[in-house]
Amino acid sequence: MPGLLLIAHAPLASALKAVAEHTFPNCAPQLTVLDVTPDMSADDVETSARALLQAAGHTEALVLTDVFGATPCNAAMRLQSSQFRVVSGVNVPMLWRALCYVAEPLDALVQRACQGGINGIVPGDPPAHPSSES
């Protein structure tokens, strides 16, 4: 079973883990998080991420990051391989979907997470404006 690693600007990773623990308390232990502080370089983040994955015993993992092109994502992309896949743009629906399907093979988990993230973006209808005619 793949692991889940969330790498994001502090305190987003920990905050998303708290949301996961609140909603899916039995699944949340599958999630490891790394909060990236302003003083961390991409090298620091990569080293920490590798250590977390090793400590958790994950030979495969889905790595979720917050912003494509930022330090958390840049470091995560260094991990990318057939065993470690990276998806950027994490949101709560993406995380919940990943937690619910973490037992699936890694490629399927990537697709589930992406679909959850996409489906979780829903524009609200504009409010109805009362007619200006009386």
What is the full DSSP assignment across 105-131? Answer: -HHHHHHHHHHHHHHT--PPPPPPPPP
CA 5 to chain centre: 7
Q: How confident is the model at residue 128 (pLDDT cuts 50, 70, 90)?
A: confident
pLDDT at 104 over 70: yes
What is the identity of the amino acid at 20? A
Structure tokens belonging to residue 84 = 């470690």
pLDDT at 132 over 80: no
Exposure string (b/e) for 3-34, b if CB count within 10 Å is 16 or more? bbbbbbbeebbeebbeebeeebeebbebbbbb
| CB-based burial label for 129 (10 Å; 0-12, 13-18, 19+) | exposed
Does 3.40.50.510 match the CATH number of domain 3-119? yes
Q: How confident is the model at residue 122 (pLDDT cuts 50, 70, 90)?
A: very high
Q: What is the pLDDT at residue 1?
A: 86
Pairing of strands 3-9, 31-36: parallel
Query: Mean pLDDT in the chain?
Result: 94
Q: For residue 3, what are the β-bridge partners?
A: 61
